[in-house]
Amino acid sequence: MSLQKLIQVARGLLPADLVLKNCKIVDVYNQKLIYGDIAIVDGIIAGVGGDYEGESIIDAQGQYALPGLIEGHIHIESSYLTPEEFGHLVVPLGTTTIIADPHEIVNVAGLKGLDYMLRAAEETVLDIKYMLPSCVPATPFEHAGAIVNAADMEQPLKKSQIIGLGEFMNYPGVLTAEPEVLRKLEAAKRAGKLIDGHCPGLLGKDLMAYAAVGIHTEHECSTIEEMTARLALGMYVMLRNGSACHNLRNLLPGVTAKNLRRCLLCSDDLHAKTIFDKGHLNASLRLCVKEGMNPLEAITMATLNAAECFRLYDRGALAPGLRADIALWPDLKEFRYPSSVYIEGKQVAQAGHYSLPFKRAAIESVNNSVYLQNFTENKLCLHLKGNKVRTIKVLPGEVVTEKGLAVVNSNAEGDFVYNPQKNIVKVAVVERHQHTGNVGVALLQGFGLKRGAIAVSVAHDSHNIIVAGVSNSDMFKAIEEIKNIQGGIAIVLDGHVLSSMPLPVGGIMSDQSGIWVEEQLQHIHVVAHQKLGIEPGIDPVMTLSFMSLPVIPKLKLTDMGLFDVEKFEFITVEA
């Protein structure tokens, strides 16, 4: 870019490459609207407001010009889409930059999974900035597909596409100053990179210690108390609105004029189905406005705040010298989709459709990832010594679980027997990476499943196979189907596979289009609710996939057994 040309265009001495005329320009700095034109040259904004001429002129006809939306924290893999296809879906919704943590694929495939994600990101106009996964595996209480230690992080942290260290879920390791944890934190600091946080429920002096090591953000707040405590320590707080976790509405009353600039929006985990049904960050903006927030304040959280949080000082606002990442919207209330989207001054989407040619990166380095060692149906048996049991109790709309207590039926061998009068089924995690043969078995309460079984190889964060069912035979059949399709989702009833969706990319992502994935998920949801009896208020796939995450309270299941997250130790199913 020629600075001389930029100056001359800004002064009106030369025509711009592109002028968006007659805009209502959202000024996120002053929280007001500016009326006029936006002049663009070499992908950079030269002038805002007033009257400009250009080689190409587009009349915005009074539409609102917003900075491109910036996603603060997301796991692309949770959409079941590859990075290219994810960009294909969200760019037409006004998203131009995302901060992605690829710890799902790295937990499956190690650093070759990261390399795949970097290559795939090159095939989409969506600007994908990556955080280097910090906890692979998330804990030592499960078996993932890889181990990434501090020494392994040194080289990736030098890459320009890696802007920080991903969510540091091992907060107990921080508090006890585990040597390897400290080495990871120090590696990020040496590289001059940010560190994302993840410490649900942490307060007081423990939170103080966590913030003291340089943790920059938090996206796990579920209460205003947690939110304000983190803001007070200088952390940025992300208000999450994903497919399984919906904290945005609850936290919005805690956003004030005084702390607004330290708050941003994120999705964390977002199904393709949710993108089609509700949208992406545009859905969060819609919710903010519906809940009474000033639209300009909501937009600021989704643009300028995110840019400043992640030190992306070349974007986040519509001002001279910044990237021309712009979306034209017909209103600031519904936020359905923008009429057109520009990234670095090039039109990349129009009327909800991606405008550019589409190409995929090769997946050979990250497929064929499901290995089961000596797996038999007998490994799904529980051997209860009594009928009083602990259960993993599902909370609708949350990935946090409660500790349940129940009295259940069992057979002569002590194995659990399903009782249709009680909302309790068996759940199992089958290790699929390291040939350990491990199978963890426990009981799940409140999931709503009444018949058959459902299995997925998307089981956060180690992504073993997790299955829930009313009988060992249907659970076994569902796991065998996952093996046959080399990862994905399977629903079985009375020994028959009713529905399955292959996810060949690491067992967690599809190599098909977003439309195909959405159609498959729609069918899976219909079958899960209508045939298996899972209640409509529960997302059958997303909910199940988080029942194996041993860093989110209170009880979870890994391939090694039932885990008490609060005590950070394994416990028995018998109470």
3-state secondary structure 433-455: CCCCCCEEEEEEECCCCCCCEEE
Around Cβ 407, how many Cβ atoms within 10 Å?
A: 12
Q: What is the pLDDT of residue 398?
A: 77
Q: What is the pLDDT of residue 226?
A: 97
Do 498 and 565 share a domain, yes or no?
A: yes
Do 499 and 565 share a domain, yes or no?
A: yes
Do 396 and 540 share a domain, yes or no?
A: yes
- 87, 79 Cβ separation under 8 angstroms: no
- 387, 408 Cβ separation under 8 angstroms: yes
- 49, 314 Cβ separation under 8 angstroms: no
Do 305 and 371 share a domain, yes or no?
A: no
- Do the domain assignments include residue 123? yes
Provide the residue range defining the domain that includes 534. Answer: 367-570
Do 292 and 372 share a domain, yes or no?
A: no
Do 308 and 376 share a domain, yes or no?
A: no
Do 310 and 386 share a domain, yes or no?
A: no
Whether pTM exceeds 0.85: yes
- Do the domain assignments include residue 207? yes
- Do the domain assignments include residue 33? no
The residue out of 275, 300, 317 marking a domain boundary is 317
Around Cβ 62, how many Cβ atoms within 10 Å?
A: 10
410: Cβ–Cβ under 8 A, 6 or more apart, which residues? 382, 384, 387, 416, 417
- Report residue 505: phi and psi, to 5°: -85, 95
CATH of the domain at 307: 3.20.20.140
- Which residues of the chain carry a pLDDT beneath 70? 1
Do 305 and 374 share a domain, yes or no?
A: no
Do 390 and 271 share a domain, yes or no?
A: no
Residue type, 62: G
CA distance 351 to 379: 52
CA distance 9 to 26: 21
Domain count within the chain: 2
DSSP 8-state symbol, 327: E
The residue out of 280, 296, 317 marking a domain boundary is 317
- 469, 426 Cβ separation under 8 angstroms: yes
158: Cβ–Cβ under 8 A, 6 or more apart, which residues? 191
Locate 487 and state its tokens.
């990862």
To 10 degrees, what angle do helices 295-302 and 281-290 make? 150
Do 311 and 371 share a domain, yes or no?
A: no
- Do the domain assignments include residue 448? yes
Q: What is the pLDDT of residue 400?
A: 85
Do 273 and 372 share a domain, yes or no?
A: no
Q: What is the pLDDT of residue 1?
A: 67
To 10 degrees, what angle do helices 224-232 and 204-212 make? 50
- Do the domain assignments include residue 489? yes
Map residue 366 onto helix, strand or coil: helix
Between the alpha carbon of residue 21 and those of residues 8, 177, 327, 328, 351, the distances in Å are 19, 56, 13, 11, 18
Do 394 and 284 share a domain, yes or no?
A: no
- Do the domain assignments include residue 8? no
Give the length of the chain.
575
Closest listed residue to residue 239, CA positions, set 260, 257, 212? 260
CA distance 426 to 449: 10
Strands 496-502 and 488-493: antiparallel
- Mean pLDDT, the chain, integer: 96
The residue out of 299, 317, 335 marking a domain boundary is 317
Q: What is the pLDDT of residue 244?
A: 74
- Report residue 519: phi and psi, to 5°: -65, -40
Between the alpha carbon of residue 461 and those of residues 54, 321, 517, the distances in Å are 50, 40, 21
Residue type, 529: H
